[in-house]
Amino acid sequence: MRAFLLFALAGLIAQLVDGSLGMAYGVTSTSVLLAAGTAPAIASASVHLAEVGTTLASGASHWRFGNVDWRVVGILAVPGAVGAVLGAYVLVNMTEDAEPYMAGILLLLGVYVLLRFSSRAIAKRVVSGPRPGGKFLGPLGLVAGFLDASGGGGWGPVATSSLLASGRLEPRKVVGSVDTSEFVVALAASIGFLFTLSQEGIDYTVVLALMVGGVIAAPFAAYIVRLLPARVLGTGAGGLIIITNARTLLNGFDVATGIVTTVLIVLAVLWVVAIVVAVRSARRERALNESAVVEEDSTSAA
């Protein structure tokens, strides 16, 4: 029961992050499973099976609030599903230890998430140009789906970030469309793992716990993000992912315990510094926004 509650908590935290930022459910929950000693293929399979439920709940919520562009979902989801099946096959049939490979990918994704939210300006982009088409969405879905299944995460960081950077779709529809299409990707990855992986290794209690935690958290993510700025939340999640996977990666290469401890301490200090910078930036942005509102009200009154 204790293990169930711990994994449910991991799923809850991962969904809060994903629902608020549009990314990092797989990266966060897979990192927790790897740290707990779960084999890479089993970890990715468990997370994707859980995501079938969490992405369905998330996609339904986005559809209800009009955050889904179904044309984008259709074009993105199909190659994403193909990439996910290929990624599952590659991960299961890796001849060498897959743990360092997966930890390395998750570590890089963690660095990206931390840098994106701690040091870069988070601004609302103005939509310009036509909606993204097949030439852009097809290769994007294929790469993101492959990375998501073979690395235990990556659909959100790759797909959401690329669509936001294109500036051709409203941010709310970017998050909604990516989250909705992820249901198809998670389902395809799960089928791929079930056909290529021995089901005896999958702990369905862990799958259920991750799913329960994620489904519970889905409705609350929008409310949580009001209390905690996305900049701070993203920085916190990115640092946690980095430290967790750095430990897994170093231990996978049999690095001396003293060196591992030193590296983790240095990373923890840098993480704290990044959070402080993120908090100060968030406060400064809030103050600027409040000043702009006051100035606009004064102008209107005059």
pLDDT of residue 128: 58
19 pLDDT higher than 70: no
Of 23 and 241, which is predicted with more confidence? Answer: 241
User: What value does the mean pLDDT of the chain take?
Assistant: 79
Residue where the block lists tokens 């640092």: 239
In the chain, alpha helices (H):
2-21, 25-35, 40-64, 70-92, 98-118, 134-151, 155, 161-166, 171-196, 204-217, 221-227, 230-252, 257-301
User: How does residue 83 score in pLDDT terms, banded at 50, 70 and 90?
Assistant: very high
Of 218 and 53, which is predicted with more confidence? Answer: 53
User: How does residue 257 score in pLDDT terms, banded at 50, 70 and 90?
Assistant: confident
Of 198 and 226, which is predicted with more confidence? Answer: 198
Mean pLDDT of 233-248: 78
Locate the domains of the chain by residue range: 2-301
Of 238 and 149, which is predicted with more confidence? Answer: 149
Mean pLDDT of 58-77: 86
Q: How does pLDDT run across 39-64, given as a tens digit for each residue?
A: 888 888 888 888 888 788 778 877 88
Quote the percentage of the chain above a pLDDT of 90.
Answer: 15
pLDDT of residue 297: 57
Q: Output the six-digit token pair for 251.
A: 């231990």
Listed in sequence order, the residues at least 6 apart from 253 whose beta carbon sits closer than 8 Å to its beta carbon are: 100
User: How does residue 184 score in pLDDT terms, banded at 50, 70 and 90?
Assistant: very high
77 pLDDT higher than 90: yes
Q: Taking each helix axis from N to C terminus, what angle separates 204-217 and 2-21, rounded to the nearest 10 degrees?
A: 40
Q: Are 37 and 206 in contact (CB under 8 A)?
A: no
Burial 40-53 (b: 16+ CB within 10 A, else e): bbbbbbbbbbbbbb
124 pLDDT higher than 70: no
Spatial distance between the Cα atoms of 186 and 138, rounded to a whole number of angstroms: 17
**Lowest-confidence pick of 118-127, 132-141, 218-227:** 118-127
Quote the percentage of the chain above a pLDDT of 70.
Answer: 81
